[in-house]
């Protein structure tokens, strides 16, 4: 999957990017406890990835890039289950202190 930036909407308040065909949306939204990275089918509430990055602004861009890099290996036709398999720890409330460093340390992300 490759993503392109589009205008934010009610599900992705700060940043919204869509996959080439527009099937998937990925982005960032601010909330009381920080910024959430979210992903789901277009024009639907995010339901695949939805976890909090807290208020640690320096990690927002690296985490978004890491997620996008992992998603590159999947076709647009990927199912939610296939996407979930790339992020087995990314429930709605994972522990960013543990999971974000592990995500950023992935060998396939040596460009970060």
pLDDT at 111: 44
pLDDT band at 25 (very low <50, low <70, confident <90, very high): very high
pLDDT at 12: 92
Cα distance between residue 26 and residue 81, in whole Å: 16
Tell if the pTM clears 0.95, that is, is over it.
no
CB under 8 Å to 55, separation ≥6 — which residues? 33, 34, 35
pLDDT band at 112 (very low <50, low <70, confident <90, very high): very low
State the helix-helix crossing angle for 96-104 and 60-71, rounded to 10 degrees.
Answer: 60
- 60: phi then psi, degrees, rounded to nearest 5: -55, -55
pLDDT at 107: 56
CB under 8 Å to 32, separation ≥6 — which residues? none
Mean pLDDT of 60-75: 90
């Amino acid at each position: 999957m490759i993503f392109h930036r589009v205008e934010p909407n009610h599900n992705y308040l700060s940043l919204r990017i869509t996959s080439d065909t527009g099937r998937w949306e990925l982005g960032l939204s601010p909330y009381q406890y920080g910024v959430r990275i979210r992903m789901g089918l277009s024009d639907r509430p995010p339901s695949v990835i939805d976890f909090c990055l807290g208020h640690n602004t320096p990690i927002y861009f690296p985490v978004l890039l890491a997620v996008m890099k992992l998603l590159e290996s999947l076709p647009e036709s990927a199912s939610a289950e296939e996407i979930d398999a790339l992020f087995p720890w990314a429930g709605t409330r994972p522990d960013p202190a543990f999971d974000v460093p592990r995500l950023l340390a992935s060998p396939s992300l040596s460009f970060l």
